[in-house]
Amino acid sequence: MTTSTELSGDELVATRHLSADPARVWAAFTGPAAITAFWGGSHATVPPGSVTVDLRPGGGFSLDTRGPDGANRRLRFVYVVVAAPHELVFDEPVTGLRTTVTLRPAADGTDLTVRQRHLPPELQTAQAADGLASIVEALATHLRDGRPTPTHR
């Protein structure tokens, strides 16, 4: 895995270089089919057809996840900033978690930073950091191969 994560108190930051231009990475973060392909990382799957996107400040996106134990969970987020193709900020209204996705052009792709702030105590763990890293790695695989990383499907 080449994703770097740093957990400090209620903030988790993941960084990775991606071999795709910012517009393509942006499309992956904002398109339902791409979100389905990578969002669960190695710890969950996203059932096809469960992702909805209303890409505007005040709009949002939602998706279902299915864990290895078969448990389903509906996730909902509200967009705060939509600045294509450089910054995407969204909140999880129940916990107050704020995620900022920053895309910076690089000579051969994009430097990605995912910053999560206001992590609830149950997400201030190494397991949560590993989960975020696996999502970013699944994104990199999706961008490279056009398909999700093999998981427990």
pLDDT (tens digit per residue) in 75-84:
999 999 999 9
Instruction: Give the CA radius of gyration of the chain.
Output: 14
Instruction: Tell me what the mean pLDDT of segment 12-34 comes to.
Output: 96
What CA–CA distance (Å, rounded) separates 37 from 146? 9
Mean pLDDT (whole number) for 38-53: 93
Q: What is the mean pLDDT of the chain?
A: 93
DSSP-assigned letter for residue 57: T
What pLDDT is recorded for position 18?
A: 97
Class of domain 4-145: alpha beta
83: Cβ contacts below 8 Å, ≥ 6 apart: none
Output the pLDDT for position 1: 54
Helix (H, G, I), strand (E, B) or coil at 6: strand
DSSP 27: H
The total of other beta-carbon atoms located within 10 Å of residue 19's CB is 12
Residue type, 12: L
| Spans of all domains in the chain | 4-145
pLDDT, tens only, 98-120: 999 999 999 899 999 999 999 99
Partnered with residue 25 across adjacent β-strands are none
Task: Please give the model's pTM, rounded to 2 decimal places.
Answer: 0.91
